[in-house]
Amino acid sequence: MVREIPRTVERDGRIYFEMIFRLPLLGDRPLLLRKAPEGVVANHGGREQTILHLPLQPGRCWRIDFPDQEIADCTVEGEEDRTVLGERRRCVRLRVARTPRSGGRSTTDFEWYADGIGLAAMRVTFAGVTQTFSLESYER
């Protein structure tokens, strides 16, 4: 999996970073992101929503609810040490409970965020298969 920000885009008078998610078997998924006082805001289908509430404090909860996607209930669970780019770092663990709109089976994913870097690792379940992805490189 690769995430990159190749450019900025203006929509409705706001500047967004266009993040491209390159996912195995699923292809490219673009998402427009911008920083805001409350955290990271995404623009999807012309609708804005905070997708990462900052600071990430244990116990903090929120919902991501874009109409054409599954519902994601997010909870900051706490901190733990993880190896990130070959170094031990303190990371914040986020639990993401995903509920499909069409019924079906809910899944629980996890994301780990390292200070100064952002997303450092994630464990996701898709089509009954769980995989863990870790950051391999990072450029500013």
Chunked into runs of 10 residues, the chain (140 residues) has average pLDDT values of 85 92 76 95 93 96 94 97 94 96 89 93 87 82
In the chain, the N- to C-terminal Cα span, in Å, equals: 18
pTM to 2 decimals? 0.88
Report DSSP state, residue 87: E
Q: Are 77 and 108 contacting, i.e. CB atoms less than 8 angstroms apart?
A: no
Instruction: Give residue 45's pLDDT.
Output: 86
Q: Are 115 and 90 contacting, i.e. CB atoms less than 8 angstroms apart?
A: yes
